[in-house]
């Protein structure tokens, strides 16, 4: 029996907030202990919702999470992830220059990054575990349910909006909404949440590398410094956007061919 929409979304967000609560303890633990905590949470989540099994309940959980393999679509999913990540990093560079982010870094965070391997738990959380959990929740559970009730277009936009809003940072809403739209569309094209995981991970890893406290607090903004830098960042955005559209067009062709070979309508929403 299908649960009410509100109850399903509330249950999905409860899992998200459990993950956010776990990651909020990182700065209070030694780096290796914090890294172990992140990996343990990710392993438990994966075992519960993504690992194949013969149990009917496990089969249902995995189907609901859209944990289908990418198959021959993986090169285009990877290309899509890279081009969108480049676009979003260039967008962040311009956005941070035009609307500087709030300075809310506490001294405890600055002190934490003076430890050896301090960046390790953050990279594991942001670029490995977090993309899996977020994409399963937003593109698997929430977008999948909304797609069944309202159609794919409404589902992609709505899931992206919820994704941006629940991070509770007004400044982060524009880039996260764009990421949610791109990830939602590529998951719709590929029928697999792993396409969204690749995109989320590529973007998060790029942010960690370009804006890491180990480098400079103004890393991303430095790339758009001055008129020349802003012009270059905008050109990168335009180029990445064009490449993303071309990759998505190719992805749609691959999807339609796979659907034709399987004898299923290409326009059907992903199975949940």
Q: What pLDDT score does 264 carry?
A: 65
For 15-74, the pLDDT digits (tens) are: 999 999 999 999 899 999 999 999 999 999 999 999 998 899 999 999 999 999 998 999
Q: Where are the domains of the chain?
A: 5-262
Q: What pLDDT score does 65 carry?
A: 94
For 136-173, the pLDDT digits (tens) are: 999 999 999 999 999 999 999 999 999 999 988 899 99
Q: What is the mean pLDDT of the chain?
A: 88
Q: What pLDDT score does 266 carry?
A: 55
For 115-144, the pLDDT digits (tens) are: 888 889 988 999 999 999 999 999 999 999
pTM of the model: 0.90
Q: What span, in angstroms and rounded, lies between the C-alpha atoms of 100 and 95? A: 7
For 193-230, the pLDDT digits (tens) are: 999 999 999 999 988 877 655 444 456 767 777 778 88
């Amino acid at each position: 029996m299908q649960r009410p929409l509100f109850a399903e979304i509330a249950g999905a967000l409860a899992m998200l907030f459990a993950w956010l609560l776990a990651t909020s303890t990182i700065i209070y633990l030694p780096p290796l202990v914090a890294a172990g905590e992140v990996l343990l949470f990710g392993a438990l989540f994966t075992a519960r919702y993504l690992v194949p099994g013969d149990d009917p309940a496990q089969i249902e959980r995995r189907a609901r999470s859209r944990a289908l393999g990418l198959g021959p679509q993986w090169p285009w999913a990877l290309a899509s992830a890279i081009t969108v990540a480049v676009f979003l990093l260039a967008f962040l560079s311009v956005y941070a220059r035009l609307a500087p982010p709030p300075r809310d870094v506490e001294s405890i965070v600055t002190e934490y990054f003076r430890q050896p391997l301090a960046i390790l738990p953050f990279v594991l959380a942001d670029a490995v575990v977090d993309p899996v959990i977020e994409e399963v929740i937003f593109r698997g559970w929430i977008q999948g349910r909304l797609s069944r009730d309202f159609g794919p277009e409404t589902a992609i936009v709505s899931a992206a909006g919820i994704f941006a809003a629940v991070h509770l940072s007004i400044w982060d809403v524009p880039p996260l909404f764009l990421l949610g739209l791109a990830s939602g569309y590529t998951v719709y094209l590929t029928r697999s949440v792993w396409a969204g995981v690749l995109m989320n991970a590529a973007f998060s890893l790029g942010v960690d590398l370009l804006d890491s406290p180990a480098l400079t607090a103004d890393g991303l903004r430095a790339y758009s410094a001055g008129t020349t830098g802003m012009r270059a960042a905008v050109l990168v955005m335009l180029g990445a956007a064009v490449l993303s559209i071309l990759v998505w067009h190719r992805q749609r062709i691959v999807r339609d061919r796979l659907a034709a070979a399987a004898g299923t309508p290409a326009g059907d929403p992903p199975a949940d």
